[in-house]
A and B are shown apart, each in its own frame.
Chain A
Amino acid sequence: MDGALRALNRFGLGARTGERRRINDPRGWLRAQLAGGAPTIATPPAGAPAALGEAIRAFRGPARQTPEQRQQLRRKLIEIASQESVAALTARVATDRPFVERLVAFWSNHLCVSTAAKVLVAPLAGSYEREVIRPHVLGRFEDMVLASAKHPAMLVYLDNFQSIGPNSRGAQRGRGRRGLNENYARELLELHTLGVNGGYTQQDVLELAKVLTGWTVGGLQNGGRRLRSAASTQAEIGFAFQDLLHEPGTRTVLGVKYSDAGAEQGEHVIRDLCRHASTATFVATKLVTQFVADAPPAGAVEKLARVFRTSGGDLRAVAAALVEIEDAWTDATRKFRTPQDWLVAVLRAVNAPGVNVMTLPVLRQLRHPLWAPQAPKGFGDTMQEWADPDSLLNRAELARTLARRMRDARLDGAALLDVIEVGAGDPVRTLLADTSIAAADRVALAIAGPAFQWR
């Protein structure tokens, strides 16, 4: 195993040609990336708060729209999503802190929203990753989860923005036409914090759902006859706590009583969930699966969970501890690249400057569209989930197409040996040096071949 290549491919997002020789101290190279600030990216013009608000309010505007008008407004929302997706994927291809960008992708998927679920999520998903994930990826887990709980993308995606306390003043005024929705509360426990076996009950779900009533989105529409309040007329789309919709009273979650203090009640509960011992284990298991092996070694999980607990969920410390897991640095562990990882690695290997909108349907075809998992669980990252025969063939087909499109760049297939781990007797060396094979086909063989599928 080549340590530099392992750092670049396993912890990073794929080596660039020539890059491995510049890394003398692989672990030091990774640690250096963790120093420094949050990995920010620029907001694309269409994603700027004012433009975003305008597009969404127009879409949700008067009911008297022709189907064509509605289609046009819908297209505008998709356009925002496209610009945001291109920006986010370009960051993965172009970054000089690939370890940190992998962490962004990991946490973004852990606390995922999905544009596949509701069209309203589409324009918000980019802002979600920029405002919820990036600022906290080297910060504290509970701050990230709390930011996620308050972001319009999550509030809309898992329906909490419409959840109303059955005994709230709003519910009484509306004569019970609207009420509780427990979707977000359940996924917060099951997928974001404690994990499905983390030790909570249906009663905890229900109580948490009540705690989070009133956590809604302001600025979604221009007034209207609905429950009118400051929130419904706020200019920028963002979190709003509406006391009117909040279920009054003391709630018990996981045996702890929380007195009613408006939005603070929910903040307290979420911070406690993030500090729960089950959360540390659940999160550590996912991280070790991502960075070490599909069957995460118990020792590594325990070690990482301990760092998570003792550091108070300090994600910079947790990331640094990942680098020190010895199992990640042996030949015994391999990780199969997900389609997104594979495509990003291809683009990095050929020194592409970024992606364009053509990349987005390609990811859909590979069944790994950005920010669009089928379920709130997000995408998996094990070989079992991605290395089925059909998917291998898909990659082969796509490799061929990509290599032909990149013909003008006069890439050298043999040079790509530099970014993959190949044994001495591997036939790939002979094939990539065989000039009787068309140059584009040699590039395609390099990126479709088995060595390139691993990280």
Chain B
Amino acid sequence: MKPPTARLRRPSRRTFVRNMCIGGLATFGAPLVSFAQVRQNGRFVFVLLRGGFDGLAAVVPHGDPAYQSLRGTLAYEDSDLVMLNDVFGLAPGLAPLKELWDQKELVVLHAMAIPYRTRSHFDGQAILETGIDRPAGSADGWLNRLLQVMPGERSGIAIASGLPRSMSGSFNVQTWSPTQLGVVDDDFLGRLSMLYRADKALSGRFEEAMQQQATVGEEPMAGQNARRGGIAPLMRAAARILRQENGPNIAEVEFSGWDTHANQGLAGGALDRLLGQLAEGLVTLRTEMGPAWSNTTVVVMTEFGRTARPNGTRGTDHGTAGAGFLLGPQVARSRVFADWPGLGDGALFEGRDVKPTLDTRAVLKAAIAGTFDLMPAQADRVFPSSEAVRGAYDLMA
């Protein structure tokens, strides 16, 4: 672990540090406890690919001897791929990520899955978003739990349609999305606030909306572009919000359309175009963050991978393990992080899916610990009953 001072490279004007020695309460031999009430500088972006993103189509195990025959009509030729090493290559749509790879900022994750076996979008997203190892009706989202656990002044924002499960819980978070609905003046909002104050269930939410309006301000560019499709406009807007000195520390961005049951295609095909949008979005985020990128970590995950073999309609059905990404300047180095189970006979999970060998929580623990200087015990608290799953802490510098 880095010492906490490494986090304070660029302390903000409003940062204040308060050290408190609880001498009177400390038991003999215990270290002095200091509470640093500092504004967190770290930025963490969780990109949720809803629908079940096909890991084998994105991060291609071209060196696996069974790859060509297993993937059949969906198998890439080596010449189409952006080669990462002897075994893996990126689909052509992800080519923009090569720059991050070369800059030692990209960890490619594979054979990774949530800790619960399901092929249901509903259950899979619930597991990924709550960070709990089984479907749990009312559990908080794991990003909300992260906000509850991490020290210092901190806040979170969802760049999403409504408040996503991953962000919901007892810690108040903002939501933001581009709108084109028109502008309202302060007089009107003032009167409306008065009305909302009389409604106990909604008053807090409306108050937050007002504050948010003040911090985020108008983002007309994003509003105009968001409809064009893709995630880049959202990423641009996210960056503008996150890069502010006192901006949110945690953001959730969603991107759907990954449920490719039919005709997913190869280079330039439907899925590859979507991958292109994803890569463009990630690169846009990196550019737009400016100097604040140095404190930023991004994780890209999905609820499940897809069947290893193509289905009957040149697509893939709901599967198990898949791929993801961890990126940012604070990763230790670029690498493919996978305990590759292989695609050969008997290697597939239930004879059909990539076998899971990496728990999403191991990666998430490392990512948040590295970004916010959390101790492993704190990271464990973000994912209840996960003590047995050790964080892959050496992924981060």
Q: Please list the residues of chain A having a beta carbon within 8 angstroms of any beta carbon in chain B.
A: 117, 158-159, 162-164, 166, 171, 177-183, 186, 190-191, 196-197, 202, 205, 334, 362, 365, 367, 374-377, 383-394, 396-398, 400-401, 425-428, 431, 437, 441, 444-445, 448-451, 453
Q: Please list the residues of chain B having a beta carbon within 8 angstroms of any beta carbon in chain A.
A: 50-51, 73, 119-123, 135, 158, 161-163, 168, 174-177, 179-184, 188-189, 191-192, 194-196, 198-199, 201-203, 205-206, 208-210, 212-213, 256, 259, 261-262, 311-315, 317-318, 350
Rounded to whole angstroms, the CA-CA distance of A162 and B209 in the bound complex is: 46
Contact check, A388 vs B191: say whether CB atoms are below 8 A apart.
no
Nearest B residue (CB) for A432: B195
Q: Chain B residues near A391 (CB, 8 Å)?
A: 162, 175
Rounded to whole angstroms, the CA-CA distance of A190 and B201 in the bound complex is: 32
The SS class assigned to the A binding surface is helix
Rounded to whole angstroms, the CA-CA distance of A450 and B195 in the bound complex is: 7
Contact of A450 (CB < 8 Å), options: B175, B191, B196, B317: B196
Contact check, B184 vs A383: say whether CB atoms are below 8 A apart.
no
Rounded to whole angstroms, the CA-CA distance of A374 and B123 in the bound complex is: 16
Contact check, B120 vs A396: say whether CB atoms are below 8 A apart.
no
Nearest B residue (CB) for A393: B209
Answer whether A389 and B206 are a contact pair too, CB < 8 Å, given A180-B311, A444-B188, A450-B196.
yes
Answer whether A164 and B312 are a contact pair too, CB < 8 Å, given A396-B184, A445-B195.
yes
Rounded to whole angstroms, the CA-CA distance of A163 and B311 in the bound complex is: 9
Q: Chain A residues near B192 (CB, 8 Å)?
A: 396, 445, 448-449
Q: Chain A residues near B206 (CB, 8 Å)?
A: 389, 392-393, 450
Contact check, B311 vs A182: say whether CB atoms are below 8 A apart.
yes
Interface centre among A171, A183, A389 (most CB of B within 10 A): A389
Nearest A residue (CB) for B117: A202
Contact check, A431 vs B194: say whether CB atoms are below 8 A apart.
yes
Contact check, B181 vs A383: say whether CB atoms are below 8 A apart.
no
> Smallest distance from the beta carbon of B234 to chain A beta carbons, Å?
13
Contact check, B162 vs A159: say whether CB atoms are below 8 A apart.
no
Interface centre among A177, A367, A393, A445 (most CB of B within 10 A): A393
> Smallest distance from the beta carbon of A119 to chain B beta carbons, Å?
12
Contact check, B313 vs A162: say whether CB atoms are below 8 A apart.
yes
> Smallest distance from the beta carbon of B209 to chain A beta carbons, Å?
4
Contact check, B182 vs A398: say whether CB atoms are below 8 A apart.
yes
A-B contact sample (9 more), CB < 8 A, given A389-B208, A394-B179: A183-B259, A374-B50, A387-B205, A392-B196, A393-B212, A396-B192, A397-B184, A401-B182, A451-B199
Interface centre among B180, B311, B312 (most CB of A within 10 A): B312
Rounded to whole angstroms, the CA-CA distance of A398 and B313 in the bound complex is: 43
Q: Chain A residues near B121 (CB, 8 Å)?
A: 375-377
Answer whether A392 and B311 are a contact pair too, CB < 8 Å, given A397-B181, A427-B195.
no
Q: Chain B residues near A383 (CB, 8 Å)?
A: 201
